[in-house]
Amino acid sequence: MSNLGRVSRLAAAVTMLIGGATLTAWHSVPVALPPMRVVKSATCGCCAKWVEYMRREGFTVSVEDRDQFTDLKRSNGVTAALESCHTAFVGGYVIEGHVPADLVKKLLADKPAGIKGLAAPGMPASAPGMDMAGPHYTIYSFDAQGHSKVYAER
């Protein structure tokens, strides 16, 4: 092989390396997730498991134990029909119950207009933090008045 051929091959290899490194660096830049506050009762085990799950998913979570927070739910658009065990606040949104992390991240990235938050009503057995076998469940989006729409099925 000529020296010139060798040089251009080397240049191609270096370009690929740099390209690969750039791509890798771009993909590994963590998305800045806003801090999350979770309000739950002190004795709620599945709430604590959801908090651990969200931390594993990259969220910085602070926890506030309260005996009673129905008023807090209602004043944030969480109707009785949408209610679950814990209520979380992140990036200006309300997350009610065992909502999967990827949907919270999607909400934070998309910032859809008119949406106050997401809810996984009740405590679906197969939801994260419940971690049991169970049927599919529905995650709803809701507005400040508590009007809800299907957001995702899991």
From residue 62 to residue 101, what is the string marking binding to Cu ion with x (rule CB under 5 A)?
Answer: -----------------------x----------------
Residue 107 CB, nearest distance to Cu ion (Å)?
19
Tell me the window of 5-13, 25-33, 45-53, 144-152 that interacts with Cu ion (CB under 5 A): 45-53
Minimum distance, C-beta of residue 44 to Cu ion, in the bound complex (Å):
6
Residue 122 CA to residue 11 CA, distance in Å, equals: 59
Q: Which helix (H) or strand (E) holds 50?
A: helix 45-56
- Among the residue ranges 62-70, 100-108, 116-124, 144-152, the one whose residues contact Cu ion (CB under 5 A): 116-124
Longest dimension (CA), the chain: 79
Q: Token digits for 109?
A: 């990235």
Residue 123 is a binding residue for Cu ion (CB under 5 A): yes
Question: Which residues lie closer than 8 Å to 86 by C-beta, 6 or more apart?
Answer: 38, 39, 40, 44, 47, 50, 96, 97
Enumerate residues 6+ apart whose C-beta is below 8 A from 4: none
Q: Identify the DSSP state of 55.
A: H
46 lies in the binding site for Cu ion (CB under 5 A): yes
Residue 38 is a binding residue for Cu ion (CB under 5 A): no
- Coil/strand/helix, residue 99: coil
| Binding range to Cu ion, per CB under 5 A, among 10-18, 24-32, 104-112, 115-123 | 115-123
Using CB under 5 A, list all residues that contact Cu ion.
46, 85, 123
